[in-house]
Each structure stands twice: as C-alpha cells, then as structure tokens.
Amino acid sequence: MQTVYFDDINSVLSKWAANDPPIEDFTVENVLFAIGVDDNSYELVLKYLMSKQDFELIPKKMLLCPNNHKIQSFGLEEVVEDYFDCHCGETDFFPEPDNYLLVFEFTDCFISQCKKKNRALRSNENSSRGFQLVY
C-alpha cells in the first residue's frame, strides 16, 4: 500500500477551498487522484476526511440519475422520499441506495480561513518582490 501523506491531503483541501469558486461536491476518488495514490487507500482517506466533519468538511450524499448525472445533494442522514427528474429525460425515478454518491463540501468557516491565508500569502509575495526592487 502506498503511503498516504495527510499533509498532502490538507494542502489539496486548502487549495480547493481557496479556489474561486470553491471546488464543491468532490469525492474520495478525487482526493486519491489529487494526492497520487490508488483505490487501495480509499478506506484510509475516507476515514481521514470524515474526521474533518463539521470542522472543515460536510459529507453529503449526491443523488445521481440512472445515467449518472448529478441531481441534488442531501445530508447523510436525510430521508429522501421524492421522485426526481433529470435533464437527460429520466423522469419520476425514485432514489435507491445505489443512486447515491458520497461527496464532500467545505464548511464556510474553512473556506474563509483558506481564502484569508491565501491572500496573506499573496501579499507576502508582493512585498518581498517590492523588497527586491529596492536592491
């Protein structure tokens, strides 16, 4: 099994959260890909991401139509008893457990922290460039 560096996960998450607009509805697979490890690390990365629940991340279930289009996301514990339509022409389908994909969103608090940090970083770069100009 490849080594999963939690630090890598954290920097990917900070980058995505500071993105404008922030990356939303990403999956465990997206994170695995971003840090360059394979599916064998799925459980580990999932567990790590879940540990950030309510602090940095909000896990959600994304409803997919039978053709795998994203319809809408719901809280993990939310009971969904509606019928749904999709733009692809699938109408009145009732969600089965198989129709859901686990996705993550960032908390507002984490997004604003990352943006703030990013701004600070950028203004630091600017001032050091200014400093070099003086020389």
Nearer to Zn ion, 7 or 92 (CB): 92
Assess contact for 28 and 45: CB atoms under 8 A: yes
Q: How far is the CB of 74 from Zn ion (least distance, A)?
A: 17
**Which residues sit at the interface with Zn ion, rule CB under 5 A?**
65, 67, 69, 86, 88, 90
Comparison of 3 and 67: residue with beta carbon closer to Zn ion: 67
Q: Please, what is the minimum distance in Å from the beta carbon of residue 95 to Zn ion?
A: 13
Based on CB atoms, which residue is closest to Zn ion, 53 or 68?
A: 68
Rounded to the nearest whole angstrom, what is the least distance from the CB of residue 69 to Zn ion in the complex? 3
Q: Which residues contact 75 (CB under 8 A, 6 or more apart)?
A: 60, 61
User: Closer CB to Zn ion, residue 65 or residue 114?
Assistant: 65
Q: Minimal distance in Å, beta carbon 87 to Zn ion? A: 6
